[in-house]
Structure 1
Amino acid sequence: MSEVKISAEPRTEFGKGGARRTRRAGLVPAVLYGHGEKPQHIALPVREFAAAIRHGGLNQIFTIDIAGNAAATLALPKAIQRDPIKDTFEHVDLLIVKRGEKIQVDVPVVLTGEAAKSTLVVHESNTVAVVADALHLPSELEVSVEGLEAGSRITAGDINLPQGTELAVEADYVLAMITASTQNAAPSEGEAGEGEATTEGQAAE
């Protein structure tokens, strides 16, 4: 995943009032921390930040150029608060990372293909924890369910990981289960009995 360069401004207003004014100015309040450095309160241009998240996902690495700082800082969004109604960004926590550093992140898992007929794919987890180079984080991981029969399981160990990426969970960590479709399940004794009674009744008439 490539880095996205973004400019930021130091933030001096705090509290709900200051945050509202920051958002009205087209910026999103954020805090930058990690690696033993003092937390920095900054504001990011919301349009650029939103576009980068849409394209690269939650594990997008940013090169943040803070006005007044001599050097840019690499950072990864660690927590993003959104307004549940407006779906706007309320606040962002950014974790400082270093080149060559390996970090643990949750990566979306995409299931491809189609399981066998008369089955259902039940998702147990939509993400999996991995450890990878901070500048080479996978945006998503794929695993196929093509032709799998009822009773099959998809586990973390089934994922073909990119070079340099390792699982941070056990290989038997379940991501999905293949089950029989309920439409094809055999009727229960009660259902069968009701069906027989109806048939007998119709015959009697």
Structure 2
Amino acid sequence: MAEVKITAEVRTEFGKGAARQTRRANKVPAVIYGHGADTVHITLPGHELMMALKTSNALLNLDIDGRSELVIPKAVQRDAIKRNITHVDLLAVKRGEKVTVEVSVISEGDLAPGSNLLENVLNTLSVEAEATHIPESVTVSVQGLDAGDSILAKDVPLPEGTTLVTDADAVVIQVVSAQAEEPAADADAAGTEA
């Protein structure tokens, strides 16, 4: 995963009024925490942050007053109507450090012929990976699976250096048979009377 470089400014004013003023300037209030260090309050440019967060588990390299800080987003708050970012909690990480993150599960391939439905029981898996090598997603092949088949978390291929945190026996994907409903007898009777 590539690092995204963003210039941040230290925030000295707090509260709702200051946060609203920051957002009006197209900036996003954020907090950096982790490694037992003091919490750092910053503002980030809104558009650059939005573009960086389009990639899941983005790795941000922040330039804060001339020093570099490597962070990953832990919580992103969005406006319920406009969907723009209103606040971000960032976790400070170091190169070589392992972090636990959620990665998306993507299925590929065709099911066995027949009336079968693919059910994604888990859309994400919790994995532990090195902070600078977090996978964006994991891909699972469902090629040829038939009704009753399932894929467990331990069966999902993970990139090298990534370990599974989710319960190994958790069902990630299962194939169920589609069942056609029989027409209701009342509907047939009503149709003949009319």
Task: Output the TM-score relative to the length of structure 1.
Answer: 0.86
Paired with 2:117 and 2:163, the residues of 1 have a C-alpha distance of: 29
1:12 aligns to 2:12 (yes or no): yes
- Aligned pairs (5 A) from 1:88-167: 88-116=84-112, 117-167=114-164
Which residue in 2 is equivalent to 1:62?
A: 60
Offset, 1:71: 2.1
Q: Per-residue displacement from partner, 1:66-124 (whole Å, max 9, x unpaired)?
A: 12xx4200000000000111000010000000110011101011111122230111121
What's 1:34 paired with? 34
Query: Distance between the aligned counterparts of 2:146 and 2:94, measured in 1?
Result: 44
CA distance, structure 2, for counterparts of residue 90 and residue 123 of structure 1: 30
CA root-mean-square deviation: 1.8
User: 1:147: Cα distance to partner?
Assistant: 1.6
Amino acid at match of 2:110: E
State how far apart, in whole Å, the 1-side matches of 2:167 and 2:12 are. 44
Cα distance in 2 for residues equivalent to 1:16 and 1:170: 40
Query: Aligned to 1:86, which of 82, 103, 107?
Result: 82
Unaligned runs of 5+ in 1: none
Aligned pairs, how many? 188
Deviations 1:112-169 (A, max 9, x none): 1122230111121100000110000000100011121111112212211111001012
Q: CA deviation at 1:5?
A: 0.7
| Percent of aligned pairs with the same amino acid | 47
Name the structure 2 match of 1:175.
172
Partners of 1:146 and 1:121 lie apart in 2 by 11
User: Separation in 1 of the partners of 2:21 and 2:152?
Assistant: 47
- CA displacement at 1:171 relative to structure 2: 2.0
Point out 4+ residue stretches in structure 1 off by more than 6 angstroms: none
Q: Taking structure 2 as the reference length, what is the TM-score of the superposition?
A: 0.91
Say which structure is richer in helix. Answer: 1
Query: Separation in 2 of the partners of 1:7 and 1:23?
Result: 16
- Measure the CA separation in 1 of the matches of 2:168 and 2:102: 15
* Larger radius of gyration between Structure 1 and Structure 2: 1
CA distance in structure 2 between the partners assigned to 1:14 and 1:4 by the alignment = 26
Residues of 2 paired with 1:52 and 1:94: CA distance? Answer: 13
Q: CA deviation at 1:170?
A: 2.5
1:60 and 1:109 mapped to 2: Cα distance? 17
SS in 1 for 2:38: strand
Q: Residue type matched to 1:65 in 2? A: D
Partner of 1:25: 25
> d(CA) in 2 for partners of 1:83 and 1:114?
38
2:2 aligns to what SS in structure 1? coil
